[in-house]
Every structure is written in C-alpha cells, then in structure tokens.
Amino acid sequence: MAVVVGVSLKAYFGRRRARVWFGEIAGIARGNAAVRSGEVSVFVAPSYLQIDDARGYVDGTGIALAAQDVSAFEPGAYTGEVTAAELAESGVTYAEIGHAERRRLLGDTPEVVAAKTAAALRHRLTPVLCIGEVERQDAAAAARESVDQLRAALADAPAGRVVVAYEPVWAIGAPEPAPPTHVAAVARAVRGALDADADRAGSSVVYGGSAGPGLLARLGDDVDGLFLGRFAHDPAAFAAVLDEAADLAARRSSR
C-alpha cells in the first residue's frame, strides 16, 4: 500500500498565490522518484475556484486533486452546492469530509457527514474522512470515540476505499501534534475497524492535526501517511515530508 500525503489549503490562499504554490509543488513532485512510481500517493485540496488552476499545474506529476468538501445531494435544485458528480467530472478524485471546522462552524452533523460520504462513494470519489475527539483524553477513550465516528460516517455508504484522517480536534492548529503513542493507539483501533469491513478494501489511515516535517519518521508504520495543513504551505516543508514518505515506503518494500 502506498504511503499517503495529503494537503489542504483551506481558505488561506487567493488564486494568484495558489498558482505560485501549485507550480512549486508540481516541480517537487516531479523530482521525487517515489511519487513518480506511485509508492507515495499525493493529493492536494485547493478551494473550489482553484481546482482548474491546480489541474493545469499538477497533471502528470503524480499529484491527485481533492475537494475540501462535497454536497450530500445529487445534481438538482440545490443553490450553492457543489456535487460529487461535478467534482468527478472536473478531475477531482478525493473529497475531504467531516473536518472539525465544518462540524463546528458550518453545521456538519454526523448525519450530514454520512450523507456526504455516501454521495462521494457513489461517484467514485475517495472520501478523506476526518475524525477525532474534541477534548484531550486518554488514548483508549479517543480510540472509542474515533471508531464510533467512523462507523457512523460509513453506516449507509456504498463499498469503496476511504482515507481516514485522524485529526484530534485539540491538536489542530496547536504548536505540537498529538504524542506518537496516542496516535498509534487510535490508528490501530481505526485500522481494525476498517479491516473488519469487507467494503473498505485498500483503505488508509493517516494523521492530521499540526502535522509537519519530522512527524512521519516518528510515527512510522503506525499510520499510512499524513494529512497536512499550514506546514505544507511552505514548499520546502512539503518536500521534506515527501522525502520522509519515500523513506517509509522504501523500508516497507524491503521487508
């Protein structure tokens, strides 16, 4: 299984700044042999307005496109919505769903998250399903809460691969990520839930929440990769994480 590295731009960049960044990361990806070979799988989630801009830069680099959200509805009279069907038509292959900011600020309840997950899978988009506990707690409790969120999101979803991004809410935007032992315990529980679901073959578990350079080397085989936010807005940091992912992929393939 490939090591996964995802990046969300959130709403930090305007289109002009985003184009510069796309050009920089496209060059980095072209120069990384593990990305070219598929041993490291990379996706980037720009804003909706930046998707076509991004595609012009990343086509042929090994970088896939993600959306930062997706409508729960099929095409129709839903003003302001962006459907999974339209995203797929636009070359998007991943859809971020259930991020803590959307749950907290924009009313994405567990029922909405489940509906969006199902819509994405119906149109062969891979959900990047964000889960994680709100308050800091011990790893066993965090694992139970995260698995409950995962099962709720997938309850009525069609078969298909998902990328589960474990992002403890208390670690998002914090100076440091969650401790590796905590991440490992939760990731093992999430992996176990995925492995028990025959419909989720090929799924991955990645960590997000103040993730940056140096973390993947510390987490090692406990996760399948990272979901990056602000730290990857620096192309040098993005390049460093790709190198760490390539090293992890090489170690795995040598066993």
Residue 233 among the catalytic residues: no
Q: From CA 84, how far away is CA 19, in angstroms rounded?
A: 24
Contacts 24+ apart (CB under 8 A), 195-202: 197/154, 199/154, 199/157, 199/158, 199/159, 199/160, 200/154, 200/159, 200/160, 200/161, 200/162, 201/161, 202/1, 202/161
DSSP 116-171: HHHHHHHTT-EEEEEE--SS---HHHHHHHHHHHHHHHHTTPPS---EEEE--GGG
Cα 24 from chain centre: 20
Annotated catalytic residue, options 96, 99, 123, 233: 99
The amino acid that residue 149 corresponds to is Q
What is residue 202's DSSP assignment? T
Residue 99 among the catalytic residues: yes
Which secondary structure element, helix H or strand E, spans residue 45, and what is its range? strand 40-45
Nearest 5 degrees, angle CA 16-CA 20-CA 22? Answer: 110
The number of residues making up the chain comes to 255
Annotated catalytic residue, options 39, 167, 182, 244: 167
- The CA–CA distances, whole Å, from 158 to 54, 118, 122, 125, 250 equal 29, 6, 7, 11, 33
Question: Which residues carry out catalysis?
Answer: 99, 167
